Structure 1
Amino acid sequence: MDSGDEQDVPDAKGRKKRYHRHTPRQIQELESMFKVCPHPDEKQRMQLSRDLALEPRQIKFWFQNRRTQMKAQHDRADNCVLRAENDKIRAENIAMMEALKSVICPSCGGPPTHEDSYFDDQKLRMENARLKEELDHVSSIASKYLGRPVTQLPPVQPVSVSSLDLSVGVYSGPEVNPTLDLDLLRRNCSSAFPYPYTPAVSELEKPLMVEMATGAAEEVLRLVQTDQPLWVKSGSDGRDRLQLEIYDRMFQRSGQHLRFPHTRTETSRDSAPVAMNAMTLIDMFMDASKWAELFPSIVAKARTIEVLAAGMASSRSGSLVLMYEELQVLSPLVPTREFCFLRYCQQIESGMWVVADVSVDYPRDNQLGLSPRSRRLPSGCLIEETPDGYSKITWVEHMEIDANDQPHVLFKDLINSGTAFGAQRWITTLRRMCERFACSNVAGLPGRDLGVVSSPDGKRSMMKLAQRMVNNFCANVGASSDQKWTNVSGSNDVGVRVVLQKTSDAGQPSGVVLCAATSIWLPVSAERVFSLFKDERTRTQWHILSNGNTLQEVAHITNGSHPGNCISLLRGLSSSQNTMLLLQECCTDASGSVVVYSPIDLPAINIVMSGEDPSYVPLLPSGFAILPDGRSAGGQGASSSSTPMVGSSGSLVTVAYQIHLSSLPSAKLNMESVMTVNHLIGTTVQQIKVALNCADA
């Protein structure tokens, strides 16, 4: 079949560029397909490729160019119509203006008044009432957070609240868009903003928030740089613990920060070098979407509500952002923690920045339905550049929690010890993620690391696909407000929790997906559990869907210094399953581990390995989240129930499966599906216990 001819065409610089000309038959077939389907999927493009003897990439580019051409034609036609309509309206407007010049008032003989003075007075009264209400609201914020009434504040204009340089105002530069994606927010945030969207912070509130943020930055800096007696080493785990009485005296906070009738306080501090330069870190911290991508196992959701100050473009110094986030532990049993907070970045000296967070009462809490049961007192980190291109991070977490919110008995020790949301978890996760980013940029790797991945572009594409898989798993296994978990009967004390989700994203199967999860306590270390799940040779011991089929690793990509941090491509040795593979990523650090996997067919993985964009490869990840149970080592053996035994130490394991129920968005959960899920989860849990020699736990 004739696939067209090629000729050399000189470009603007005189160089010759290879230009492909399609045959009339190819163009006719492509045009016919375009009329039926302007956006062909991968299978349709592959069929056209075979029929017309063209590369899939050529088919893809032709349709992209044709859609662009069609859009340009429509735009030109629309512009012509709008131009004519605009000319007509302009002419009518000129005619009306001329007619108004000759109109006189019938009662006084003069020109008519534009509005009734009565309505002017009414509008002024309404505006005055609105401003008074807003001033009362600002005064209540000032007295609560700044410790003095609003009458004692400096004048609003000009603002002079600190020696720190701030440029207050909504940033309208090219890098940050302060407006909200309303549709996205309604899907992924428990607090959907009212429509139409209005600015979150009034001009009267901005100076107060600036003062709160700068004060928080100064406090974080002192918390980072002060040791004893403000901080002491804990005798049980050697971590830094804040002495609250000394803290209250030092910062004159006693009784001012309490919000709930009964509270408990979580404080922690940790420090470590990370493999990323300081400016890249700061850019990721100040961007809500990048912040969530950097910590997928901790940050369930994050949104920028409003950018209050852009800061300096070169250093981000002076940047101030009002943000919302939801923090999670990877289990449906642990409620998330919601925060609406200010994040402020300030450069202290050359090569040193402080990034500070402090919770703030959102001005429209009642409208948004926010009901946070936790509050972040001044927290954050000090970022210092090091000569080797790394950064030293010192992290401080300081929260007050509603004491009435008691965690599930399985996670009680982990939560109450402050480990679940403490500084060490943030630091260890950040170190691992920075190592992952560094590995994705390494050009030359040993042969085993590359396996069947043929190019650096293929390696990066594989890592991008695996990261999306892990992010999807973390987003679907936690107790985020998006997840309406239903408890169904199960084989352990916790039971099996299920949630139905309608998906239409290109990277997921379309229709209804069932996520089923359960959490168990095991009297073995988290490291031993991770080793069981990571090793493909022991997979048949717990993976009932493998049907006893042994798996072989055909590709391996290292993504961290720990040998357990890696991406694998697994293939069944059975000849009947050679077209279906498993993509698996293992992540581990001192705070916990995840093992996530998803089936993927051979044509899709070939596209990814060639370096193409993996965004449209469908994934349905399942896997495990493994956490230490928060108890000290030196336990007394296995307990006879799923409740941790006093004095013992072990691990908390969340088992999660995602199952595509139906391609129809109206599908419902039926009894057969419930029984299938119960059997799948229950059998998996039992086989895990058998493999770890703790079947009676």
Structure 2
Amino acid sequence: MEDQHERVPVDGRVLVEEKVPVEQLVPVKRVPVEERFHLEERVPVEERVLVEGRIPVEENFDPSVMGRINEDGYESMSGSGNLDGGLEDEQETLVLERPAKKLKYHRHTQEQINELETCFKEWPHPDEKQRLDLSRKLNLEPRQVKFWFQNRRTQMKNQLERHENVMLRQENDKLRVENVAIKDAVRNPICNHCGGVAMLGNITIEENQLRVENAQLRDELSRICGLAEKFLGRPVTPLASPIALPRPSSNLELEVAGNGFGGLNSGGTPLPMGPLTRPGMMGVEKPFNSSVFVELAVTAMDELLRLAQADSPIWMTSLDGGKETLNPVEYMRTFSPCIGLKPSGFVTEASRETGMVMINSLALVETLMDGSRWAQMFPCVIAKASTTDVLSSGIGRTRHGALQLMHAELQVLSPLVPVRQVKFLRFCKQHGEGLWAVVDVSIDTALDGASINSFVNCRRLLSGCVVQDLSNGYTRVTWIEHSEYDESAVHYLYRSLLSSGLGFGALRWLATLQRQCESIAILLSSTVPCEDHPVLTQAGRRSLLQLTNRMRDNFCAGVCASTVRMWNKLHVASLGEDVKVMTRKSMNIPGEPPGVILSAATSVWMPIMHQQLFNFLRDERQRSKWDILSNGGPMQEMIHIPKGQTSSNCVSLLRPNARNQNDNTMLILQETWADASGSLIVYAPLDVASMRAVMTGGDSSFVALLPSGFAIVPDGSSGYGDDWSGKLARGSSNKGSGSLLTVAFQILVNSLPMAKLNVESVETVNSLLSCTINKIKSAVSSA
């Protein structure tokens, strides 16, 4: 039971008690029993009487004199806790003189508060050992740590209760208004012919019910018009009189009128709109109500703008100044959850990043609102994306006011992290010249009211970006990621990575966007000198890059169990729990060899910084230390196509060391890149004849390849800053930090598609994984 007598204010102040000498305690005369109710009148004003051991909070006292003090409060000296019980005639009452000094308070420093907040997220009920360790670390008394946690738990409980009370009060008010409207409609029915008051005796029960429903629809129309005013940024006039409502056409500016919502044409004239319909079964059209999605989108947009402009205390900055995370206590105090309370067992991650991107706002908005282009812009983050419903295509020919329902599969390149299946609303709105905002928020129901998430391992709360054009041709992007996920489904190696925001946080989204935009700008620039082999034409360069993109996408699909490729997971007793082996049959698939394809992947922790590990694996001179394709010697880089400002972001064509003239029949196509969130190395062996046709501009879709490679990310145990590119070039490291390495191979184990997979093939691939990892560990430990 929490202490009810010694409460510490939430702002960190601690009441310091001062003991009063016994000499200052003055006895008073005995008070007769019959005058016990006039006790205060017999004592001078400047003195206070302590009855039954009760001590005023604002006064100093000596616990040894006043009575025993236990953990829950103060024990009465008289043995009776009720003043009405009377006082014995022979009992003396002590009078404590008013102390001259004022109360003393102790205010926690900002560093102490931040550390306490961090610990509160992990264990809100610390035991005695944890409190002692925390008090020594923060230079506080154990009692101060104990009281701080008690008050924080009480504050969180009160906030949740206030939020529930507000929601219940709003629901109660809504029901009360609807009840009054229904009663008023019943009392005052309107004649359908003359528009005047009708007599109840002149109408049937069915007609009266229709008029009641008509009144409800009018109230709903007025509410939606007010909502549309926020949605469009300009007023919408409700219908003044009942008219024939045509079905909405494709030239309407706003197509969210599933409930009688009036749209606007290009001239701003109100247009009548009827119920929006969707094709049902057997060709029968059925209406649906989309007002709840419109309201959710408007609320999410308002919250996104407020979070993008907010500062401390809602956003907490890391000590190195490189990461901004959301303060959950301040967030709950300021905002109301858009989609309900957090499910049991879920944890929250929320981060914000701001940076400049080499793209204009209109191009970025168009990319985000198109499912396929959005997935291409974030190739290693998004496994699959699509637009399932379009509620609004925007006003005019712009994306202003566009609202659509989307589905996406988000991934971290590791078999130990499950793919996140999310279905959400995406709302785009222009807030000024060159200023746009795009917001996402998860939903649990489809447009027809059916459930679309019977079981989800992730909920994407308010997430999105605010985009603003700059005068130098760049765009300032503020990215916010806020989600809740089931941590129990994540392997313990990757839990720190996800909680730090490096897995699905704002840093990874913004870093990927910056790298992709920089790569596109460099590849499209005509000023980049051609450093390629003389046989590589511009058409051959474009064909080679298309082949590289397909190689990278196939690699990502083989690491994670997304729905891009229909893999069958194998359960082999001899394999470890951290190794995932999948198989599928390839038959008449362009760009893949026919037969049975086996994919094996695993993730391990490496005692080396991810920048150093990336530099070692991409160095063609060190290739022989871990790659069996190198034939025991260094490789030669034949073609180098830069895709970024650093040399690490490139596409290369490598030639292995040839032991004799007959071995010059294989080349290795490789792509490497690195940014603040991690790095990637993907390669695939190809025959010389196929590559010669690609380099001369031939179609690359016929070239069959099976990619392998590495995905490297920090282990999440240390912070990160903005100087990641400098560390990458210098190869610097921090003691005590490591990296997470994912190794994946795709191998053709049988050229016959209908052949059965044997155990020897699985053991061979597993042996290849183990051998490669051991060679890498041995090489980096001796470096």
Kindly indicate whether residue 501 of structure 2 is the aligned counterpart of residue 418 of structure 1: yes
Counterpart in the other structure of 2:405: 322
Q: Hey, what's the Cα distance between the residues in 1 that align with 2:380 and 2:396?
A: 30
Aligned counterpart for 2:419 among listed residues 332, 336, 339: 336
Counterpart in the other structure of 2:541: 459
Partner amino acid for 1:442?
S
Partner amino acid for 2:667?
L
For structure 1, list consecutive stretches of 5 or more residues without a partner in the other structure: 1-142, 174-194, 635-646
The 8 Å contact of residues 266 and 400 in structure 1, kept in 2 or not, is answered as yes
The 8 Å contact of residues 633 and 649 in structure 1, kept in 2 or not, is answered as no
1:601 offset after TM fit, Å? Answer: 2.0
Counterpart in the other structure of 2:473: 389
The 8 Å contact of residues 519 and 654 in structure 1, kept in 2 or not, is answered as yes
SS in 1 for 2:781: coil
Q: Hey, what's the Cα distance between the residues in 2 that align with 1:483 and 1:428?
A: 30
Partner amino acid for 1:578?
N
Counterpart in the other structure of 1:155: 220
Aligned counterpart for 1:556 among listed residues 640, 647, 672: 640
Identity of aligned residues (%): 42
Aligned counterpart for 1:657 among listed residues 736, 745, 754: 745
1:356 offset after TM fit, Å? Answer: 0.2
Output the TM-score relative to the length of structure 2. 0.61
Counterpart in the other structure of 2:674: 588
Q: Hey, what's the Cα distance between the residues in 2 that align with 1:525 and 1:372?
A: 34
Pairing of 1:370-389 with structure 2 (within 5 A): 370-389=454-473
Pair 1:202–1:588, CA change in 2 (3 A): farther
Counterpart in the other structure of 1:515: 599
Q: Hey, what's the Cα distance between the residues in 2 that align with 1:672 and 1:222?
A: 59
1:237 offset after TM fit, Å? Answer: 6.1
Aligned counterpart for 1:680 among listed residues 746, 765, 768: 768
Counterpart in the other structure of 1:88: none
1:412 offset after TM fit, Å? Answer: 2.0
SS in 2 for 1:205: coil
Kindly indicate whether residue 332 of structure 2 is the aligned counterpart of residue 274 of structure 1: no
1:250 offset after TM fit, Å? Answer: 2.0
Pair 1:542–1:531, CA change in 2 (3 A): same
Pairing of 1:171-250 with structure 2 (within 5 A): 203-235=287-319, 238-250=322-334
Q: Hey, what's the Cα distance between the residues in 1 that align with 2:299 and 2:655?
A: 56
Kindly indicate whether residue 611 of structure 2 is the aligned counterpart of residue 527 of structure 1: yes
Kindly indicate whether residue 349 of structure 2 is the aligned counterpart of residue 294 of structure 1: no
Pair 1:561–1:443, CA change in 2 (3 A): same
1:224 offset after TM fit, Å? Answer: 0.6
Pair 1:263–1:676, CA change in 2 (3 A): closer
Equivalent residue pairs, number: 515
Pairing of 1:407-556 with structure 2 (within 5 A): 407-448=490-531, 450-452=532-534, 454-480=536-562, 483-488=567-572, 495-503=578-586, 504-556=588-640
Pair 1:477–1:157, CA change in 2 (3 A): farther
Kindly indicate whether residue 694 of structure 2 is the aligned counterpart of residue 627 of structure 1: no
Pair 1:156–1:460, CA change in 2 (3 A): farther
Kindly indicate whether residue 261 of structure 2 is the aligned counterpart of residue 261 of structure 1: no
Counterpart in the other structure of 2:759: 671
Bigger shift: 673-682 or 611-620?
A: 611-620
1:571 offset after TM fit, Å? Answer: 1.2
The 8 Å contact of residues 293 and 471 in structure 1, kept in 2 or not, is answered as no
1:236 offset after TM fit, Å? Answer: 6.1
Counterpart in the other structure of 2:232: 165
Higher Cα Rg, which structure: 2
Partner amino acid for 1:651?
S
1:156 offset after TM fit, Å? Answer: 5.0
Q: Deviations over 1:595-615 (max 9, x none)?
A: 000112223222222234423
The 8 Å contact of residues 317 and 346 in structure 1, kept in 2 or not, is answered as yes
Q: Hey, what's the Cα distance between the residues in 1 that align with 2:341 and 2:281?
A: 31
The 8 Å contact of residues 170 and 309 in structure 1, kept in 2 or not, is answered as no
Pairing of 1:7-26 with structure 2 (within 5 A): none
Pairing of 1:582-621 with structure 2 (within 5 A): 582-621=668-707
Kindly indicate whether residue 429 of structure 2 is the aligned counterpart of residue 346 of structure 1: yes
Pair 1:398–1:560, CA change in 2 (3 A): same
Counterpart in the other structure of 2:135: none
Partner amino acid for 1:614?
S
The 8 Å contact of residues 494 and 519 in structure 1, kept in 2 or not, is answered as no
Q: Hey, what's the Cα distance between the residues in 2 that align with 1:170 and 1:359?
A: 27
Counterpart in the other structure of 1:98: none
Pair 1:416–1:694, CA change in 2 (3 A): farther
Partner amino acid for 1:280?
A
Larger RCO of the pair (alpha carbons < 8 Å, separation 6+) = 1
Q: Hey, what's the Cα distance between the residues in 1 that align with 2:567 and 2:741?
A: 19
Q: Hey, what's the Cα distance between the residues in 2 that align with 1:251 and 1:656?
A: 43
SS in 2 for 1:485: strand
Partner amino acid for 1:522?
M
Q: Hey, what's the Cα distance between the residues in 2 that align with 1:543 and 1:664?
A: 27
For structure 2, list consecutive stretches of 5 or more residues without a partner in the other structure: 1-166, 179-216, 237-246, 252-278, 721-734
The 8 Å contact of residues 496 and 681 in structure 1, kept in 2 or not, is answered as no
Q: Hey, what's the Cα distance between the residues in 1 that align with 2:444 and 2:282?
A: 17
Pair 1:675–1:547, CA change in 2 (3 A): farther
Q: What is the aligned-residue RMSD (CA, Å)?
A: 3.2
Partner amino acid for 1:251?
F
Pair 1:624–1:540, CA change in 2 (3 A): same
Pair 1:577–1:166, CA change in 2 (3 A): farther
Q: Hey, what's the Cα distance between the residues in 2 that align with 1:196 and 1:598?
A: 47
Q: Hey, what's the Cα distance between the residues in 2 that align with 1:661 and 1:335?
A: 26
Pair 1:578–1:443, CA change in 2 (3 A): farther
1:516 offset after TM fit, Å? Answer: 0.7
The 8 Å contact of residues 665 and 687 in structure 2, kept in 1 or not, is answered as yes
Kindly indicate whether residue 651 of structure 2 is the aligned counterpart of residue 567 of structure 1: yes
Q: Deviations over 1:487-537 (max 9, x none)?
A: 54678x654321012334312223321111111110001111111111111
SS in 2 for 1:606: helix
1:293 offset after TM fit, Å? Answer: 1.4
SS in 1 for 2:484: strand
1:314 offset after TM fit, Å? Answer: 3.9
Pair 1:171–1:422, CA change in 2 (3 A): farther
Partner amino acid for 1:310?
S
Pair 1:495–1:223, CA change in 2 (3 A): closer
Q: Hey, what's the Cα distance between the residues in 1 that align with 2:281 and 2:715?
A: 43
1:164 offset after TM fit, Å? Answer: 2.7
Partner amino acid for 1:586?
T
